[in-house]
Structure 1
Amino acid sequence: TRRGGRGAGGAGGGDTFAPRRASLRQRSFIGTLKALDALSTSGAQVSVRVSDLDGGDEVLSGDDHLTLPVVGLGVVPLLIEVAAQIEFGQLDPLEIIERRSVDEVALAGVWQHLAAPALPVRDLAVLAAAASDAAAANALLARVGIGAVRSRMEDIGLEKTALLDGFRDVRGPDDAPQVALSSARELAGLFAAIVNARVVSPAVSAQVGEWLNLNQDLALVGAATALDPFAHEDDRYGMLFVNKTGRADGIRADAGVLAGPRGGVSYALVVCFDDLSIAHRLRAHEAFRALGADLMEYVF
Structure 2
Amino acid sequence: MGTSSEPSPSRVTVRRSQRSTRRLPRRAALGRRSFDTTLRTLDRLAASGAQVGVHVVDLDSGEEVLLGDDHVTLPIAGLGIVPLLIEVAAGFADGTLEPFEIIERSSLDPVTTAGTWRHLKAPALPLCDLAVLAAATGDPLASNALLERVTHEKVRARIESLGLTRTALLDRYRDQRGPDDAPRLAVGSARELARLFSELVNTRVVDPAVSAQVSEWLSLNHDLSLVASATGLDPFAHDNDAHGVLFVNKTGREAGIRAEAGVLAGPRAGISYALIVAFDDLSIMHRLRVHDAFRVLGVELMEYAF
Q: Same fold (TM over 0.5)?
A: yes
User: What is aligned with 1:267?
Assistant: 273
- Whether the 8 Å CA contact 2:205–2:211 is kept in 1: the answer is yes
Mapped partners of 1:58, 1:2: distance in 2:
16
The 1:292–1:146 alpha-carbon spacing in structure 2 relative to 1, beyond 3 Å, is same
User: What is aligned with 1:4?
Assistant: 16
The reply to whether residue 217 of structure 1 matches residue 223 of structure 2 is yes
For residues 237-291 of structure 1, give each alpha carbon's deviation from its aligned partner in whole angstroms, at most 9, with x where no partner exists.
Answer: 1110000000011000000000000010000000000000000000000000000
Residue 15 of structure 1: CA displacement?
7.6
Mapped partners of 2:70, 2:140: distance in 1:
27
For residues 206-251 of structure 1, give each alpha carbon's deviation from its aligned partner in whole angstroms, at most 9, with x where no partner exists.
Answer: 0000000000000000000000000000011111000000001100
The reply to whether residue 44 of structure 1 matches residue 50 of structure 2 is yes
Structure 1 segment 98-247 matched on structure 2, within 5 A: 98-247=104-253
Matching residue's letter, 1:5: S
Mapped partners of 2:175, 2:23: distance in 1:
32
Question: Percent identity, aligned pairs only?
Answer: 65
Segments of structure 1 that go 5 or more residues without pairing to the other structure are 7-12
- Whether the 8 Å CA contact 1:4–1:44 is kept in 2: the answer is yes
For residues 188-207 of structure 1, give each alpha carbon's deviation from its aligned partner in whole angstroms, at most 9, with x where no partner exists.
Answer: 00000000000001000000
Aligned residues: 294
Mapped partners of 2:28, 2:14: distance in 1:
19
**Secondary structure of 2:43 counterpart:** helix
Mapped partners of 1:262, 1:111: distance in 2:
39
Structure 1 segment 50-69 matched on structure 2, within 5 A: 50-69=56-75
Residue 14 of structure 1: CA displacement?
4.2
User: What is aligned with 1:9?
Assistant: none
User: What is aligned with 1:289?
Assistant: 295
- Whether the 8 Å CA contact 2:14–2:39 is kept in 1: the answer is no
The 1:19–1:37 alpha-carbon spacing in structure 2 relative to 1, beyond 3 Å, is farther
Residue 20 of structure 1: CA displacement?
1.6
The 1:252–1:15 alpha-carbon spacing in structure 2 relative to 1, beyond 3 Å, is farther
Residue 74 of structure 1: CA displacement?
1.1
Residue 108 of structure 1: CA displacement?
2.5
Residue 19 of structure 1: CA displacement?
5.6
Residue 102 of structure 1: CA displacement?
1.3
User: What is aligned with 2:82?
Assistant: 76
**Secondary structure of 2:203 counterpart:** coil
Mapped partners of 2:162, 2:24: distance in 1:
29
For residues 120-139 of structure 1, give each alpha carbon's deviation from its aligned partner in whole angstroms, at most 9, with x where no partner exists.
Answer: 00000000000000000000
Mapped partners of 1:61, 1:148: distance in 2:
31
Please point out which of 16, 24, 31 is paired with 1:18.
24
Residue 31 of structure 1: CA displacement?
1.8
Residue 75 of structure 1: CA displacement?
1.2
Segments of structure 2 that go 5 or more residues without pairing to the other structure are 1-12
Higher CA-based Rg: 2
Mapped partners of 1:39, 1:98: distance in 2:
43
Matching residue's letter, 1:133: D
User: What is aligned with 1:249?
Assistant: 255
For residues 94-149 of structure 1, give each alpha carbon's deviation from its aligned partner in whole angstroms, at most 9, with x where no partner exists.
Answer: 00001111100013210000011100000000000000000000000000001100
**Secondary structure of 1:20 counterpart:** coil
CA RMSD of aligned residues (A): 1.4
**TM-score normalised to structure 1 length:** 0.95
Mapped partners of 1:251, 1:17: distance in 2:
23
Please point out which of 74, 99, 103 is paired with 1:97.
103
- Whether the 8 Å CA contact 2:14–2:68 is kept in 1: the answer is no
Matching residue's letter, 2:97: L
- Whether the 8 Å CA contact 2:15–2:43 is kept in 1: the answer is no
- Whether the 8 Å CA contact 1:93–1:122 is kept in 2: the answer is yes
The 1:2–1:255 alpha-carbon spacing in structure 2 relative to 1, beyond 3 Å, is closer
- Whether the 8 Å CA contact 1:19–1:33 is kept in 2: the answer is no
**Secondary structure of 2:251 counterpart:** strand
- Whether the 8 Å CA contact 1:4–1:42 is kept in 2: the answer is no
